[in-house]
Homo-oligomer: A and B are copies of this chain.
Amino acid sequence: MYVGVDYYPEHWPETRWALDAQMMQKAGFNVVRLGEFAWTNFEPAEGCYDFAWLDRALEVLARHGIRAILGTPTAVVPAWLAHRYPEVMVVDKTGQRRTWGVRKDTCYSSGVLRRFSQAITTALATHYASHPGVIGWQTDNEFGGSNDCRCPACQAAFQDFLRQRYGTLDELNRAWGTHFWGQIFRAWEEVPVIVDTNGQNPSACLDWQRFYSDQNVRYQGEQVQILRRLCPRHFITHNLMGLAPDVNYFNLARDLDFVSWDNYPVWGRPEVRYDAALAADLMRGAKHKNFWIMEQTAGPCGWGSFNRNVRPGELRAVAYQQLAHGADGQIWFRWRTCTAGREQYWHGLLQHDGKPNRRYLEAAQVAREYHLLAPLLEGLSVRAEVAMIYDYDSLWVTRFQGSFEGNDYREQLKRYHRALFRAGIGLDIISPADDFSRYKLVIAPELHLMPDALARRLEAYIEQGGTLLADVRTAVKDGTNLVHDRTLPGLLSSALGIAIPEYDVLADKAEIPLTQGFAGHKATLYTDWIKPTTAETVAGYDAWWLTDYAAITRNRLAKGIAWYVGTIGNTPAFYDGLIARVLADAGITAPLTPPPGVEAVVRSGQGRELLFLINHTEDCQTVPVPTGRKELLTGTTTATTLTLDRHGVAVVQLR
């Protein structure tokens, strides 16, 4: 199993390298990521390459049994490149070309940039294709974020993208509904870039985001093509950013062997690391296979100011959480805190002083344990009976058109996910294009966009015995972000057995008590005014103007069951109750119910089943466990309960 650190030999005197490698080896580290910001070191002048320094670094590392993942170094262009070819820099919304000096600020429509990107990738790949110390590649760094550009090249590329997508102007006009506000295009050149997602055509805004995402995928693809050709024995990955919203990760992952991601879950006060679990499930879902952690939090993080330091045991708990969710490799960011530049305060395992310290020792403990567990983990992953759909299109459109105040697509996913977490149930986060039939339960939060095919597939899933949970604003729009002319929930009306003639928001923190099966709970933010057709009413609203409507419904359809939740519950307890009922419908049970703040995840395969328990709290926790199984970290055998220290972890071999 690969365990290691992100390492920047170019930041330190060459005389230090041997000590670094020795300390890494002593800690049990066997891999480093290198070079992803070193373009100017590799190509100090246009077309002049220098790999000697990295060769020397690899040699030192190899001497201590450490292998390397190389980054294509395109996240920062050299100063000489930006100075000589200013057109590589992004033009922002105010029409100004970005000043070189930060990062991730180059235009992916720029032919100049792409030519240089391909050239440096080719040179690196050629040089390291058969280097024994190199095992794989990371493309660029953290695609997405800040380099959306409005230069003329981007406008032309956007028009091209649309021409490919829609073929004719008539079809574009239809797909965008440009009859509204008299915005019909008579020529492709008239199509503008998007600078105002609060004012411009929403269908255009969605396509702009798709275009941006695709530009990233294409840019990576051009590097991948070169690497595949020149380095056939190397793996190719990229460090994604969990729930980051800018790039469609399902698409970005397609060209990769596996995805990696950068996990920084230590902020503010200590808390249950729900989001890191959700992000890990999405990362695993991106290719339906295990992933790596390419940057694992190692200390206080931040640019202008840094955040909380990990407390004793916390660095280990963070690592085990990812291991449980499917991390097959794990790399701490970074080895040693940099003394220069914008990330001076983004702390590595070592402080600036480079001395072994508490965090280094804790990481070394993790590495030692991982190497012991490795043989048992081989081939194991999370095998879930529950899937939750993650739809980038719905995410994107709700960011600029939330439809009701306070609506947040990812927050909505989290409401269900956290209830499953508390119930001790694992889940996969999947694309709407994935196969639903593998799952007993599919949760489909806020599927605003509902292309016909997706509706048909969801309906078929239910009919064939699946349990579906859908909710507010489902199927409001079609695939091009137009509203359709069907009564809501549109194409899912018969599957859900309801009609929604009207809906409403609950502004200014207004709440409405729920009735029947959810008496004691309250509706917040939004209410669908539901008329069941074939569905039963599970909860209604206690408000004078809503007495005739349902809030939550449940519909039997052929062999399956379809839930519809027409509001947002006011507390986690609402979601715990809801999930309990839906799980019961789907016939799903948890291996155990962990106490609050303890996470229980099962990895299985190869006839084995490992139960990971992670205590996210600062109190000791007692967990009910199957008796007579081996706890692998202590080598003890379980009684009926198992006690976890604060931030403690355990790995119980169930089978």
Interface contact A618-B544, CB-CB below 8 Å:
yes
Which residues of chain B have C-beta atoms less than 8 A from A400's C-beta?
Answer: 304
Which residues of chain B have C-beta atoms less than 8 A from A82's C-beta?
Answer: 190
> Looking across the interface, which residue of chain B has its beta carbon closest to that of A46?
B186
Interface contact A486-B353, CB-CB below 8 Å:
yes
Interface contact B201-A101, CB-CB below 8 Å:
yes
Number of chain A residues close to chain B: CB under 8 A: 109
Report the Cα distance A303→B397, complex, angstroms: 12
Given the known inter-chain contacts A186-B44, A483-B340, please indicate yes or no for A96 contacting B99, CB distance below 8 A.
Answer: no
In this assembly, does A187 line the interface, its C-beta being within 8 Å of a C-beta of chain B?
yes
Contact with B along A176-210 (1 / 0, CB 8 A): 11111111111101111111101111111000000
Given the known inter-chain contacts A190-B80, A200-B102, A300-B504, please indicate yes or no for A341 contacting B181, CB distance below 8 A.
Answer: yes
Interface contact B507-A80, CB-CB below 8 Å:
no
In this assembly, does A308 line the interface, its C-beta being within 8 Å of a C-beta of chain B?
yes
In this assembly, does A45 line the interface, its C-beta being within 8 Å of a C-beta of chain B?
yes
Contact with B along A472-508 (1 / 0, CB 8 A): 0000000000111111100000000000011111011
Copies in the complex: 3
Which residues of chain B have C-beta atoms less than 8 A from A508's C-beta?
Answer: 268-269
Interface contact B41-A195, CB-CB below 8 Å:
no
Interface contact A404-B80, CB-CB below 8 Å:
no
Which residues of chain B have C-beta atoms less than 8 A from A501's C-beta?
Answer: 351, 355, 357-358
Interface contact A507-B181, CB-CB below 8 Å:
no
Which residues of chain B have C-beta atoms less than 8 A from A196's C-beta?
Answer: 99, 101-102
In this assembly, does A79 line the interface, its C-beta being within 8 Å of a C-beta of chain B?
yes
Q: Which positions 381-409 of chain A face chain B at CB distance < 8 Å?
A: 400-405, 407
Interface contact B78-A182, CB-CB below 8 Å:
yes
Which residues of chain B have C-beta atoms less than 8 A from A655's C-beta?
Answer: none
Interface contact A507-B45, CB-CB below 8 Å:
no
Interface contact A305-B502, CB-CB below 8 Å:
no
Interface contact A179-B483, CB-CB below 8 Å:
no
Not counting A37-B182, A305-B405, A339-B485, a sample of 12 additional A-B residue pairs whose C-beta atoms are within 8 angstroms of each other reads A37-B180, A79-B185, A82-B190, A177-B341, A181-B341, A268-B507, A303-B401, A304-B403, A309-B502, A309-B503, A312-B545, A339-B482
In this assembly, does A28 line the interface, its C-beta being within 8 Å of a C-beta of chain B?
no
In this assembly, does A56 line the interface, its C-beta being within 8 Å of a C-beta of chain B?
no
Interface contact B101-A402, CB-CB below 8 Å:
no
Interface contact B502-A344, CB-CB below 8 Å:
no
In this assembly, does A587 line the interface, its C-beta being within 8 Å of a C-beta of chain B?
no
Report the Cα distance A286→B618, complex, angstroms: 51
| Among B41, B186, B359, B485, contact of A182 (Cβ-Cβ < 8 Å) | B41
